């Protein structure tokens, strides 16, 4: 069809006929314009020149542009050629417009528009068609929307009208009903009260004749007023069961309890306390538990898996308790231990502490002294053991020419050393089965005790009749012979010797040769040495820290017999020195005149 139209246009509207017709139309238009302008120029000469020039120029320009455009039109012209022609046309139009003395902006835009439409006619036509189509669509859409709005508004008005009518009708009926109630209210109240009373009587009667038998795995336990009573009791039952069994117990009412509705007069209905006591003291109550199995055999049952693992761990740890010096390297159970879920009776559930004791000792009771344990498991462990053992000190002797050959006087005390040993120990159920020493280090060497031994030959072993002071060097007399205050107001006592102070451990010498009559502890004297010198003389040396002679031993004058101390009743270290003649104490200054001067 498009080909037929194209051929017709080519045959009927060829270039020559179009040019002739266009020229003729241009001449006619120019003639008409000139006549119109001539009429107008009679009143406005300047307008004649302006209008004439712009009008004629515009007419001639449009005629020539249309003719040129037609001549340059080529069938199938592309976008590039059209663009080039548009640019050239716009350039030429600008030059023409600039050449005209009075070319308005409106005319200039019109000239450019004509050039654009000629060069890009397909685009311009498409835009016009699109604009027309869009306008038609929008117009149609607006019309339709308006119709819909009108329809909706009409519907709302009708609904409002009918709803108002129905509302007025109902309101009238309600008002009539209110008037009727007001008129018959006394009779209606009597009927209502009668019906309520009858319904209450019927409800109470049916309720008193209805109950629920509750059973545990087919075993009838009792009759409850309602299922709710049993549910409420079971919700609180867990705590009481857990307290009784020593484990966490829960009861599944949907699984374990069944109900049957029963009717009758004077039924024995259980109270919530009755239900609680019935369920609590059921020894065959079934509960979910976990079995601790040793080599596949269940040994104990506990309430949950966590508790089962705790029982195994605690039983194992009981054989590897903390010990001084022990560092456990590993511990393992020889038997195969597994945990399996089980359903048991409540009476078969174990308290966790008792379960641990049973696995550990084989008994549920605490073993008494002498009873033998029979553990259900064997725990092997390896540990490094660090031990400190004592290294005995030795005695070392130093010669002293001032001592007799039979005397030994301590100079310094000895001190044991310390050796630290590290051993690897293998244990079976906490008992050592092997021990291998890994290392040994002396961390403190022993210190020898030092004694002085004499080199002087022994003199004649008998009293010489002369006296040697029992201390050497400086000393301090602290209490003389005679009566002295006891510290209690008005109380005194006879002090039968002289108290002489020197540092603890200082040596005490025999005042003369003789035989040791007493050597040891003696009441208030503490450690005491008593020497019989013959000729009715005896000397006492009290409060010693150490005695160096024995009863019956013969000592020489100047021999070390003891060390100063504070044993017995003494306020500090000192020598209590007494001299006895014929069984009675005498003042030591009788034989040592300068005893209270402090130096000998």
Instruction: Single out the residue of 489, 281, 109, 538 nearest to residue 528, CA to CA.
Output: 538
- Pairing status of strand 482-485 against strand 417-428: unpaired
CATH number at 442 reads 2.20.230.10
Tell me if 515 is assigned to some domain: yes
- pLDDT at res. 55: 46
In a domain, 197, yes or no: no
Residue 20 forms part of a structural domain: yes
Assigned token pair, 327? 């560092």
Is residue 164 located within the same domain as residue 181?
yes
Specify the 3-state DSSP secondary structure of 96. Answer: helix
Mean of the pLDDT values across residues 226-236? 77
Question: Model confidence at 62, in pLDDT bands (50, 70, 90)?
Answer: low
> Would 203 be classed as within a structural domain?
no
pLDDT at res. 351:
85
Q: Do 174 and 91 lie in a common domain?
A: no
Residues 417 and 434 in one domain: yes
For 28-40, what is the mean pLDDT? 70
Number of domains in the chain: 6
Is the distance from CB of 575 to CB of 564 less than 8 angstroms? yes
For every residue of 121-159, DSSP letters joined together read HHHHHHHHHHHHHHHHHHHHHHHHHHHHHHHHHHHHHHH
Is the residue at 7 inside a domain? no
Q: What is the pTM of this model?
A: 0.41
Residue whose C-alpha is closest to residue 447's, from 490, 492, 489, 393:
393
DSSP states of 580-595: EETTEEE-GGGT-TTG
Give 380's DSSP letter. Answer: E
Question: Do 585 and 525 lie in a common domain?
Answer: yes
Q: Are residues 101 and 21 in the same domain?
A: yes
Question: Is there a contact between 251 and 241 (Cβ–Cβ < 8 Å)?
Answer: yes
Residues 6 or more apart whose Cβ sits within 8 Å of residue 430: 318, 319, 320, 321, 379, 381
Nearest to 313 by CA among 364, 379, 372: 379
Instruction: Examine the pLDDT at 136 and tell me if it is beyond 90.
Output: no
Q: How does pLDDT run across 552-577, given as a tens digit for each residue? A: 999 988 899 999 999 999 989 999 99
Q: Which of 312, 288, 282 is nearest to 299 (CA)?
A: 312
- The whole-number average pLDDT for the span 29-42 is 69
pLDDT in tens, 392-447: 999 999 998 888 787 788 888 999 999 999 999 999 998 999 999 999 999 999 99
| 180 belongs to a structural domain | yes
H helix or E strand, kind and range, residue 241:
helix 227-245
- Here the tokens at position 596 are 């209270």
CATH number at residue 593: 2.70.70.10
Identify the domain containing residue 169 by its residue range: 126-191
Among 187-201, 453-467, 533-547, the least confident range: 453-467
In the DSSP assignment, the letter for residue 327 is E
Q: CA separation (Å) from 238 to 231, 232, 245? A: 12, 11, 10
> Of 143, 158, 191, which residue constitutes the final position of a domain?
191
Where does a domain end: 407, 434, 451?
A: 451
């Amino acid at each position: 069809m498009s080909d037929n139209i194209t051929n017709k246009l080519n045959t009927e509207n060829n270039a020559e006929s179009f040019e002739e017709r266009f020229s003729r139309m241009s001449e006619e238009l120019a003639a008409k314009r000139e006549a119109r302008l001539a009429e107008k120029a009679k009143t406005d000469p300047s307008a004649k020149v302006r209008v004439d020039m712009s009008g004629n120029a515009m007419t001639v320009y449009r005629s020539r542009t249309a003719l040129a455009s037609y001549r340059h039109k080529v069938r199938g012209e592309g976008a590039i050629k059209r663009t080039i022609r548009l640019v050239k046309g716009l350039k030429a139009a600008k030059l023409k417009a600039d050449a005209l003395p009075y070319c308005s902006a409106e005319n200039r835009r019109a000239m450019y528009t004509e050039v654009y439409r000629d060069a890009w006619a397909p685009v311009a036509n498409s835009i016009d068609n699109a604009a027309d189509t869009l306008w038609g669509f929008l117009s149609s859409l607006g019309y339709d929307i308006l119709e819909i709005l009108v329809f909706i508004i009409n519907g709302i008005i009708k609904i409002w009208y009918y709803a108002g009518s129905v509302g007025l009708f109902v309101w009238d009926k309600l008002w009539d009903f209110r008037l009727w109630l007001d008129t018959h209210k006394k009779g209606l109240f009597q009927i209502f009260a009668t019906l309520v009373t009858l319904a209450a009587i019927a409800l109470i009667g049916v309720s008193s004749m209805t109950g629920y038998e509750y059973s545990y795995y087919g075993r009838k336990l009792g009759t409850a007023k309602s299922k709710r009573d049993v549910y409420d009791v079971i919700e609180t039952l867990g705590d009481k069961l857990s307290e009784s069994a020593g484990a966490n117990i829960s009861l599944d009412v949907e699984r374990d309890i069944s109900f049957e509705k029963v009717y009758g007069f004077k039924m024995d209905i259980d109270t919530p306390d009755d239900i609680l006591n019935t369920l609590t003291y059921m020894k065959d109550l079934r509960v979910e538990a976990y079995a601790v199995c040793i080599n596949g055999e269940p040994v104990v049952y506990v309430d949950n898996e966590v508790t089962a693992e705790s029982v195994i761990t605690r039983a194992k740890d009981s054989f590897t308790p903390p010990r001084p010096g022990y560092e456990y390297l590993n511990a393992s159970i020889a038997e195969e231990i597994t945990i399996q879920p089980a359903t048991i009776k409540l009476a078969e559930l174990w308290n966790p502490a008792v379960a641990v004791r049973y696995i550990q000792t084989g008994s549920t009771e605490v073993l008494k002294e002498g009873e033998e344990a029979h553990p259900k498991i064997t725990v092997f462990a390896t540990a490094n053991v660090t031990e400190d053992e004592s290294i005995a000190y030795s005695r070392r002797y130093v010669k002293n020419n001032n001592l007799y050959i039979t005397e030994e006087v301590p100079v310094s005390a000895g001190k044991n050393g310390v050796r630290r040993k590290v051993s690897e120990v293998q244990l079976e159920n906490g008992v050592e089965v092997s021990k291998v020493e890994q290392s040994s280090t002396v961390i403190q060497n022993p210190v020898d005790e030092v004694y002085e031994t004499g080199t002087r030959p022994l003199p004649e072993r008998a009293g010489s009749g002369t006296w040697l002071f029992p201390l050497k060097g400086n000393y301090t007399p602290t209490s003389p012979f005679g009566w002295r205050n006891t510290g209690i107001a008005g109380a005194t006592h006879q002090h039968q010797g002289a108290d002489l102070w020197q540092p603890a451990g200082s040596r005490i010498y025999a005042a003369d040769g003789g035989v040791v009559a007493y050597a040891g502890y003696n009441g208030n004297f503490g450690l005491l040495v008593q020497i019989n010198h013959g000729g009715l003389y005896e000397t006492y040396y009290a409060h010693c820290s150490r005695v160096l002679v024995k009863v019956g031993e013969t000592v020489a004058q100047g021999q070390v017999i003891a060390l100063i101390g504070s044993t017995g009743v003494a306020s500090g270290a000192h020598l209590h020195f007494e001299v006895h003649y014929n069984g009675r104490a005498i003042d030591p200054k009788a034989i040592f005149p300068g005893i209270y001067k402090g130096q000998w």
